[in-house]
Structure 1
Amino acid sequence: MRRLLPLIVPLLGLPLLLAENPAISTPKSIVPNIQEVIFYTETKPIRVFVHINAKTGSLDKTFESKLKEFFKFLDRDGDGFLSPSEAEFVFSNTAIQSLISNGYAYASPNDPSRTFDKFDKNKDGKISLEEFIRYYEPSGQYLITSRNLNLGDAYAEEVTKEFFNRLNSKKDGRLSREELAVLPSWIPLMDRDEDDCLSVTEIIPDIFTRNLASKNEKSAFGAVRVHPVGEFSETAIENLMLRYDANRNLRLKPNEIAFDAETFKKLDKNGDGMLSMFELMEWRNLPPDLEIEMSLGANPRESSVRVLKRPDGRDYPLAKNVQILSTGNLLVKIGNQSIDFGYLFTPQPTISAPKVEDTNNLLSAFNKAANGRDFVVDKDLINPEYQHLRILFDMADRNGDNKVTREEIEALVKLFVSFKECPVQLAFNVDMPSIFRILDQNQDGRLSLRELRQAWKQLHPLEPSGEDYITSNISKPQAKIYLTRENDVVRFVNANPYQVSLAGSGQGPIWFQRLDRNADGDISLKEFPGSKAEFDRLDLDGDGLISLEEAETAEKRFRRK
């Protein structure tokens, strides 16, 4: 016996002529594909526009493809339209949003927004695919969300203190060039796994077992804001003013906010040498400092990030500060601070995945109720434990034979689960990194010989005093922006910032990648299979390492012969 869900269908006006009806136009974009990232550095705010795509195409097309599958599922007679009876099982936007987030929803019979009229815009008594997709336009905004991870480096202060204790022979709280120069000598003393690199536990074996009083004493609260382009509110401008207004007079002078001279002059409409709140509001309408595109694939190798040009074909101001890391991340340097754009993925299990992923235990409930059969009927679902399956019975029973087969429930579950593939999230975090993490330029959780040799070069520009030494004040808020899926974000919350990665960069000639056995971005003499004389011919700067650049130079030379 069918339990009809009362989708409200107007009884009057169904035979209206189609020629008299307004045309239905599908919007160009129903997903806020361009997000604005604001990083409040210590001297000025930085704006980056991030274009977000999936590797399979735009999120609009991904969402539209899922809606087409849903429409096809509901269109039982396959005529390309939904009749009033077929439309009994359409979802409201609220239900679709639940499907996007949780992979489960049902058609509520009492939902006033789920009326036939709201779908059937041209009043021809049926719902076209175009009308169906147009109805779900409001749900597009839920496909891209942002989230502050609020993750501090619990070990940063302790790690930095340990470096100072071991290196600062003068015990004056300052590290000189000479004191930092001993870092490379740590490798033969501490490299327990003999990979010619040092992890944080090789340097400080008990670091993760120490009782740390505070997780993140040096807070960088509110230093990053993420929102769709065009949604930078007046309240956010007020917060910007308060962040940089050192003397609290609600005016910003050039020494308070380090805009370049051209930008400051453009904003300073009255030419008084100060920016008022009203003048500062115009800043949100100026072009961004950088524009990038991030494409999320099924894994890191299928994902990419690249810098975009300005509409006139020129580079954005920050393009010259961009560095592509060996991890594939895009690092933007702003003085002694940075924004790191990358991805988050949860490692997939190696065991075989089930044929169909379950959602809300629908398949489990079916298997239990079926009791060895390949179908269930109404009376099998009387018990309360089957309620979530019972309310979907008629929707799953596509051929209307008053029973749901295994094939039918699996088709419904597959449809539901597919919507969870649509949403992505820009997760962001700001923390104060330790000396170890500052030196770890390729962010693989290890310090290579080259990174240790370049310690002074990397650290000294960060010293705010500008003097010829290093203090612990070099640690400034650094931002990380991750494009990910929500489930991966949840699993990442407890991630260790010192996790070792041996993935390698994937850059350079194939022979270079194969010989770089420890994946540190260089080939050492120990890794090189030839003679020292052959090694020296490739090691152009004579530093005892064949770098990526030297390998590429050699490759060009080989190809010319």
Structure 2
Amino acid sequence: MTRMTLCALGLAFAAFGWCHAADPVPAKGAAVPVQFVLLGEEKLARIDLRAEVDGIAVSAIWDETFAKLFAFFDRNGNGSLDTKEAAQLPSVRSLRQAMGNGFTPPVGAAPTFAELDRNGDGKVTPEELAACYRAAGAGTVQIGVGRLPASVELAAALLKNLDTDGDGKVSEKEWGAASDVLKKLDKNDDELIGAGELVPKAVYPGAAGTVLLAPPAADSVQPDVLAKLPLVLLPSDSKDTHWATEIAQRDKRFKAAELPAWRTQAPGTSWVVKLSDKPGTTNRFAFASGRFRVDGWVASGKVNEALATARKQIVAQLDAPPEEGAGARRRGGNLAWLAPIADLNGDGTLDRKELDAWLDLQAQVARGQVLLTVLDGAGLFELLDTNHDGALSPRELRGAWEQLKGAGCVPGGAFDPKALPNVLLVAASRGYPQTLALDARRGPAWFRSMDRNGDGDVSRREFTGPADVFDKLDLDKDGLLSAEEAEKSEKAKK
């Protein structure tokens, strides 16, 4: 099967213009939700999402990040930034690119002093710095959107292969035989039916969250992928009502003047998305409204890897000996862009202590880098691929009928493709996702080692012990060892 690696795909995040309008400042440390409106039904539904990293709200992490950013550039320690100090601040674009780079690169323009000095008193306070960045869209969960290109073809291939009696329908009996019937497509013999095995040359997912989702703005022209997305991101400023105008234009059933009052009502659902690098931590979140369904999960991210790589490379540049000869660069010459930013003592050179202080600041910036990858256009294949690894496992195929019933696709006892819900996939990750697969590293070490295809089960073929031991461990006698069964065997030993 062919799978698409997402690490090489950067988000096409356009930098917002700096906004000088006054914005509400959230209480320090408070978990500030990201709010969406789900469209498409007779009633709108609001979704509130709060993200946490190791139990700390992302909004609180950014509170700390902005405080440390201020302290780093307040070179004279007087509690405010002057024009010279403020000129070295990173741009919003730089803060966003830190998600993939592992550091804030020298790109984009820093906010002007006038934009930072929001009350016009000639100095910039920590609160003004944070407010300016937040008004420009920094300091929160970032949302990237894409559209799955092969969902229709994958669904058609599935139904064609499962309709073994050729009557144009897939009965409950045929769905029950799916795991056995589709084995013939397993060309790489990994006991999974990948997207590329159903549809030759299909790359899965074939899309990434490369378009930034931002709250609607006046006279903004949205790319096609956002114009068709049944989600609207709400602004943090309750006085900003461009979102209401956007919804009213897209759906004439709603009036822009009435929507701000609707926003004050309770949300349709509230999610708390818990991210962590600790193995065995899984988190799923979902919501259904009529024929629309949002399926979310936590995927493993690359932010720590990017941070470690950047630190190693930048330290190596500083430690590299100076070149000799005419025109040769001096020691640390490749870091000439960084010297004025990180030169804490103002002597015109960058030493290791100063570099370490700047790298510590980059680690703080990395802590709050959380990305939601939203993929529109999901269909039958994505509904059945419950761990979102781009392949259908024996357990997923065996449970297909129940999954379809739960999604409302079996009215009157017969599968109806027209009853399939409109599904949005939402993967939360720390930085760019390694893959879009559910981060579900569970079970004892031996179990994870034997699960060679990574589907969350150990089959008879994967099990390296005696057959009678497998039979003993397989408590439900379904021919697969689950993480729960493996954990029970470990407990029995104690």
- Shorter-chain TM-score tier: 0.5 to 0.7
What is the correspondence of 1:95-106 to structure 2 with a 5 Å cutoff? 97=92, 100-101=95-96, 103=104, 104=106
How many residue pairs were aligned?
Answer: 435
2:130 to 119, 137, 157: 137
Match of residue 230 from structure 2: 223
1:506-539 deviation digits (Å, cap 9, x = unpaired): 2244554444443322333334456555544443
Match of residue 339 from structure 1: 295
Amino acid paired to 2:265: L
Task: Determine if contact 1:99/1:416 at 8 Å carries over to the other structure.
Answer: no
In the superposition, the TM-score normalised over structure 2's length comes to 0.67
Secondary structure at the aligned position of 1:293 is classed as strand
What is the correspondence of 1:262-273 to structure 2 with a 5 Å cutoff? none
Match of residue 470 from structure 1: 415
1:456 to 367, 380, 401: 401
The offset of 1:234, in angstroms, is 5.7
Counterparts of 1:452 and 1:375 in 2: how far apart (Å)? 57
Counterparts of 1:375 and 1:441 in 2: how far apart (Å)? 49
1:183 to 170, 178, 187: 178
Counterparts of 2:439 and 2:114 in 1: how far apart (Å)? 55
The offset of 1:353, in angstroms, is 4.9
Amino acid paired to 1:547: S
Larger Rg: 1
Match of residue 64 from structure 1: 64
Counterparts of 1:237 and 1:113 in 2: how far apart (Å)? 27
Secondary structure at the aligned position of 1:442 is classed as coil
Match of residue 37 from structure 2: 38
Match of residue 164 from structure 1: 159
Secondary structure at the aligned position of 1:467 is classed as helix
Counterparts of 2:96 and 2:225 in 1: how far apart (Å)? 34
Counterparts of 2:447 and 2:419 in 1: how far apart (Å)? 34
Q: Does 1:373 align with 2:370?
A: no
Secondary structure at the aligned position of 2:378 is classed as coil
What is the correspondence of 1:19-418 to structure 2 with a 5 Å cutoff? 28-29=27-28, 33-40=32-39, 42=41, 44-55=43-54, 57-58=56-57, 59-65=59-65, 67-68=67-68, 70-72=70-72, 74-75=74-75, 80-81=77-78, 87=82, 89-91=84-86, 97=92, 100-101=95-96, 103=104, 104=106, 111-112=113-114, 132-141=125-134, 142-144=138-140, 146-149=142-145, 151-186=146-181, 188-208=183-203, 221-227=228-234, 231=238, 236=243, 282-296=261-275, 301=278, 328-332=283-287, 337-343=293-299, 345-346=301-302, 348=305, 353=310, 355=312, 357=314, 371-374=328-331, 399=345, 403-405=348-350, 410=355, 414=359
Counterparts of 2:481 and 2:311 in 1: how far apart (Å)? 46
Counterparts of 2:34 and 2:226 in 1: how far apart (Å)? 25
Distance 1:531 1:37, change over 3 A: same
Secondary structure at the aligned position of 1:136 is classed as helix
Distance 1:465 1:57, change over 3 A: closer
1:470-511 deviation digits (Å, cap 9, x = unpaired): 34324432123344577x38xx9xx8x7xxx6x872224455
In the superposition, the TM-score normalised over structure 1's length comes to 0.60
Amino acid paired to 1:182: A
Task: Determine if contact 1:375/1:404 at 8 Å carries over to the other structure.
Answer: no
Distance 1:99 1:522, change over 3 A: closer
Task: Determine if contact 1:69/1:415 at 8 Å carries over to the other structure.
Answer: no
Counterparts of 1:371 and 1:405 in 2: how far apart (Å)? 18
Counterparts of 1:184 and 1:440 in 2: how far apart (Å)? 13
> Superposition RMSD on alpha carbons, in Å?
5.1
The offset of 1:422, in angstroms, is 6.5
Structure 1 vs Structure 2: percent identity of aligned residues? 22
Q: Which runs of 5+ in 1 are unaligned?
A: 1-25, 122-130, 210-216, 251-275, 305-323, 377-384
1:480 to 388, 400, 425: 425
Distance 1:338 1:356, change over 3 A: same
Secondary structure at the aligned position of 1:520 is classed as coil
Amino acid paired to 2:330: R
Secondary structure at the aligned position of 1:526 is classed as coil
Amino acid paired to 1:81: N
Secondary structure at the aligned position of 1:404 is classed as coil
Secondary structure at the aligned position of 1:506 is classed as coil
Secondary structure at the aligned position of 2:411 is classed as coil
Distance 1:407 1:344, change over 3 A: same
Q: Which runs of 5+ in 2 are unaligned?
A: 1-24, 98-103, 205-223
The offset of 1:302, in angstroms, is 7.3
The offset of 1:91, in angstroms, is 0.7
1:2-53 deviation digits (Å, cap 9, x = unpaired): xxxxxxxxxxxxxxxxxxxxxxxx9733998321133336464433322234
Distance 1:532 1:244, change over 3 A: farther
Secondary structure at the aligned position of 2:228 is classed as coil
Task: Determine if contact 1:37/1:47 at 8 Å carries over to the other structure.
Answer: yes
Counterparts of 1:354 and 1:556 in 2: how far apart (Å)? 41
Amino acid paired to 2:130: E
Counterparts of 2:112 and 2:489 in 1: how far apart (Å)? 72
Secondary structure at the aligned position of 2:27 is classed as coil
Amino acid paired to 1:285: T
